[in-house]
Amino acid sequence: MPAQIIAIFNAKGGVGKTSTAYNLAVALKRFHDKRVLLIDIDPQGHAGAALGIDIMNLEHRIDEVLLEKITIKDTIVKTTSDVDLIPSNILLAEAEIPLSGMPGREVLLRRAVKTISSRYDFILIDCPPNVGMLSINALMTAQKLIIPVDPSYLGLLGIPVIERMLHLIQTRLEHPIEILGVLATRYDQRLNIAREVLASLKTRFGDRLFETVIPETVKVREAPSFQVSIFDHAPTTPGAVAYQKLTEEVLTRV
């Protein structure tokens, strides 16, 4: 049976996109024994770095797959969290221009992933924080989308950009991707703006807003520097509890 493929995307940076991608991947494996592949299609390579991969000394990378130099199975590495990973680094950014001239450029990742999807229960894609060919490839590969949103004024301003991009994917490129859920991240209930934005998200998205809210916490921010998930770094903290709850909520929606 093919995997459930979920992209984690927001065109705005600093919203907890990568934290959500790798912590969700680890939680699906650790707490629910799912076969999980995490694809890092962000040139920053932070998903791999957060899981202990030396991203500047990779044997193979996702850009080589997109440029059709190697097969996707040759890029898979095992992390210490038992989550399979297809890593990236800054060389992926250099590949974006030649990718734009390739035939079928919007579905290069989809074609590659199709060859290995039966090996996994879940494939998560950590997207770059922009609207470009890499993000389009991720969205054209995924069936579902998780949108992390930080509770700020700029966070709200970014929502129409995401909705416009999804509309173009669904209509112009005829790919039926759906929003699995909108996730409020970096939430500090002491701030008026955070409470107001969360209320706005509830009004705008209704049931598509996850009940789970990821709190603003030092431990979630620290975890990547120790190259482990929040469940290894601080397993009893509010951030870990929230990501575990999110995982359970995701499983009820797929």
- For residue range 110-125, what is the model confidence (pLDDT) as tens digits? 999 999 999 999 999 9
pLDDT of residue 3 exceeding 80, the answer is: yes
Q: How far apart are CA 14 and CA 102, in angstroms?
A: 31
Mean pLDDT confidence for 49-65: 96
**pLDDT band of 157, cuts 50, 70, 90:** confident
The fraction of the chain above a pLDDT of 70, given in percent, is 100
Query: Is-contact 198 187, C-beta < 8 A?
Result: yes
User: Which residues does 76 contact at the CB level (< 8 Å), separation at least 6?
Assistant: 37, 84, 85, 86, 116
Give tens-digit pLDDT for 74-110.
Answer: 999 999 899 999 999 999 999 989 998 999 999 999 9
The fraction of the chain above a pLDDT of 90, given in percent, is 92
pLDDT of residue 1 exceeding 80, the answer is: no
Q: How far apart are CA 118 and CA 134, in angstroms?
A: 23
pLDDT of residue 153 exceeding 90, the answer is: no
Q: Are strands 4-8 and 144-149 parallel, antiparallel or unpaired?
A: parallel
Q: For position 38, what pLDDT does the model report?
A: 98
Q: For position 158, what pLDDT does the model report?
A: 87
Domain ranges of the chain: 4-253
Q: For position 192, what pLDDT does the model report?
A: 95
**pLDDT band of 155, cuts 50, 70, 90:** confident
Strand residues in the chain grouped as ranges (E): 4-8, 36-40, 77-78, 84-86, 122-126, 144-149, 178-187, 209-215
**pLDDT band of 156, cuts 50, 70, 90:** confident
Tell me which residue has tokens 């120790």.
226
Q: How far apart are CA 55 and CA 57, in angstroms?
A: 5
CATH topology of domain 4-253: Rossmann fold (3.40.50)
Of 125, 186, 132, 181, give the one whose Cα is nearest residue 155.
186
Q: For position 31, what pLDDT does the model report?
A: 97
**3-class SS of residue 232:** helix
DSSP state of 3: P
Paired with 38 in beta bridges are 85, 124
The answer to whether the pTM exceeds 0.85 is yes
Give tens-digit pLDDT for 167-219.
Answer: 999 999 999 999 999 999 999 999 999 999 999 999 999 999 999 999 999 99
72-103 CB burial, b ≥16 within 10 A, e <16: beebeeebebebbbbbbbebbbebbeebeeee
In the chain, what is the straight-line distance between the N-terminal and C-terminal CA atoms, in Å?
14
56: buried, middle or exposed (CB in 10 Å: 19+, 13-18, 0-12)?
exposed
